[in-house]
Amino acid sequence: MASIFTQIVEGNLPCHKICENDSFLAFLDINPIKPGHSLVIPKKEVDYLFDLEDDLYRGLMAFAKPVAEAIRAAVSCQRVGVIVAGYEVPHAHVHLIPTESMADFSFALARRASDPDLAKVAESIRQQLPRVQS
Ligand code: AMP
């Protein structure tokens, strides 16, 4: 069965999209550690990040960079942190998490966010993308 993220890629499940291209998609985590917590995925379904072909791995990280900059511009934070976990969804992904300190690197802080709140944050991140990409 297709992963939850493949179902999102194929349009069979909704997401709060930030941006996409032919190979990658960035969208909000529905259980954010902090508002703006995003996931960046390759559209190709591969379970383990470090099993990605080199080009896809490098492409994923390059795709994540402006997304992280847009998150930082949209959401007040010291740094956008990166976590790679993959214990819940077997489809390679990188968590981009607005953080103020090491204490924010904790999934114990994750809380389900409402759709209106997610929509608002996604819009504010999307608005920053053209600025960080120029
Ligand atoms: P992990 O696989 O441990 O890196 O965690 C997967 C992450 O995906 C968790 O933070 C979940 O909150 C998130 N997640 C699961 N389903 C969805 C979904 N349908 N839309 C957005 N995020 C999701």
pLDDT digits (tens, 9 = 90+) for 18-37: 999 999 999 999 999 999 99
pLDDT, averaged across the chain: 97
Ligand 1 centre from 29 Cα, in Å? 6
What is the per-residue pLDDT for 32?
A: 98
Q: What is the pLDDT of residue 76?
A: 86
For residues 109 and 115, what is the distance between their CA atoms, to the nearest angstrom? 18
pLDDT category at 1 given cuts 50, 70, 90 is confident
Query: pTM (2 decimals)?
Result: 0.98
Q: At what angle do helices 54-74 and 115-133 cross, to 10 degrees?
A: 110
- What integer pLDDT is reported at residue 26 of this predicted model? 98
pLDDT tens string 78-90: 999 999 999 999 9
Res. 65 pLDDT band, cuts 50 70 90: very high
Return d(Cα 2, Cα 117) in angstroms, integer.
28
Residue 94 has which token pair?
């990188």
Residue 91 a catalytic site member: no
Q: What pLDDT sits at residue 79?
A: 97
Among 4, 12, 29, 84, say which to mutate for ligand 1: greatest number of ligand atoms within 8 Å of CB.
Answer: 29
Residue 109 near ligand 1, beta carbon < 6 Å: no
- Nearest Cα neighbor of 94 from 3, 26, 9, 6 is 26
Ligand 1 atom closest to the CA of 28, numbered from 1:
21
Domain holding 57, by residue range, is: 4-133
The number of C-alpha atoms within 13 Å of 109 and in the hemisphere containing its C-beta is 13
pLDDT, position 134: 76
Please state the domain count of the chain.
1
The active-site residue, picked from 37, 91, 93, 95, is 93
Residue 133: the pLDDT is 82
Res 108 pLDDT > 90: yes
Which CATH number do you get for residue 65? 3.30.428.10
